[in-house]
Amino acid sequence: DTEVTQTPKHLVMGMTNKKSLKCEQHMGHRAMYWYKQKAKKPPELMFVYSYEKLSINESVPSRFSPECPNSSLLNLHLHALQPEDSALYLCASSQDSPASSGANVLTFGAGSRLTVL
């Protein structure tokens, strides 16, 4: 299995809702990532988990809450979002973590398209 699977593919939520995005990989990778991508912009790093511990948090607002239940799963909990948070949320994984000086080759999922009304 060489895939990163993200669910749901599409999510529409109100500003008072609580929802979650899910990401799963079975490649034995030890690092997992959340990126946010707005239209016609490059992906922006949000969080990195390495060996199930949060290793990088790029000053993301607390309305985004990551969780790594085990080495294969990464969730992003969403609460009290704003319309400007509407974007494509991409999950990725890599064999090694950014904390190492290794190749850090990322495999990306297909993304979850989030719309906040």
Partner 1 sequence: KQEVTQIPAALSVPEGENLVLNCSFTDSAIYNLQWFRQDPGKGLTSLLLIQSSQREQTSGRLNASLDKSSGRSTLYIAASQPGDSATYLCAVKGTQAGTALIFGKGTTLSVSS
Query: Which one, 16 or 59, has the nearer CB to partner 1?
Result: 59
Rounded distance between C-alpha atoms, residue 86 and residue 70, angstroms: 27
Q: Smallest gap, in angstroms, from Cβ of residue 116 to partner 1?
A: 16
Q: Which stretches of the chain bind partner 1, using CB under 8 A? A: 6, 33, 40-43, 45, 48, 56, 88, 90, 92, 98-111, 113
Query: Which one, 82 or 100, has the nearer CB to partner 1?
Result: 100
Three-state secondary structure call for residue 113: strand
Q: Smallest gap, in angstroms, from Cβ of residue 76 to partner 1?
A: 15
Query: Which one, 105 or 117, has the nearer CB to partner 1?
Result: 105
For CA atoms 93, 94, 99, 103, the dihedral sign is negative
Q: Smallest gap, in angstroms, from Cβ of residue 70 to partner 1?
A: 22
* Adjacent-strand bridge partners of 20: 77
Interior angle at CA 50, CA 24 and CA 90, nearest 5: 45
